[in-house]
Amino acid sequence: MSEEKHVEFKNKMIIRIAVSAILIAVGVVLSFLNPFAYFTIAGTKINPFAHLINVLSGVLLGLLFSIVTATGIAIIRFATGIGSIHAFHGGISGALIVGITSYFLQKKWPKYVEYAAFVEPLGTVFLGGTIAEIIVPIYGIFSMQGLLVYWSLFALPSIVGCTLGFIILKILKDSGYSRETFTNK
């Protein structure tokens, strides 16, 4: 690797770390300060802003940084009581799916990479909701009814969050900020 490429890689890595830290802070602040940011049902604190952050980090920063960002938000939300244990598997699974999808869209159809935002509910609802029913079954044992409850609880905020995230990604793209701004591709 040439010296110039090494410096560019290092600079973009620093930017990704900084943006990830900022997104963690924004995710926590939006969870805490906004009284409409989350509501509690069946022990699950539902927060559409976590899904918005998953979309932004997954598309702009990539897979690894989206998982780190979701984990950071989940740790702080859980430790401060503004999130439940479900913040971990709900957030991380959504970030995982967005990160993977945005990677493949960037390789094959780079001008459509923002559309990875709309797969966030697939990860959150089906992966995260299923894990929620496995670790804290609503009816005491794993059941299809409990699974459907968790899926529905995770669906609405993730759909709202991914839609808001997509709109913000489009605004950022029009302003000159895209995945290429933050990654080494």
Each of the 185 residues of the chain gets a pLDDT tens digit; together they read: 688 887 888 888 999 999 999 999 999 888 877 655 555 665 566 678 889 999 999 999 999 999 999 999 999 988 988 778 888 998 999 999 999 999 999 999 999 999 999 999 999 999 999 999 999 888 888 889 989 998 998 898 899 899 999 999 999 999 988 888 887 66
Count structural domains, the chain: 1
Q: How far apart are CA 185 and CA 179, in angstroms?
A: 8
Q: CB–CB of 123/96 below 8 Å?
A: yes
- Is residue 170 within 8 A of residue 55, CB to CB? The reply is no
Say what the pLDDT of residue 44 is.
Answer: 61
DSSP class per residue in 73-116? HHHHHHHHTSS-THHHHHHHHHHHHHHHHHHHHHHH-GGGGGGG
Residue 39, classified by CB atoms within 10 Å of its CB into exposed (0-12), middle (13-18) or buried (19+), is exposed
For residue 109, the domain's CATH number is 1.10.1760.20
pLDDT value for 77: 86
- Among candidates 130, 183, 177, 182, which has minimal Cα distance to 155? 130
Full residue range of the structural domain in which residue 119 is found: 3-182
How many residues does this entry show for the chain?
185
Token output for 129 = 């909701």
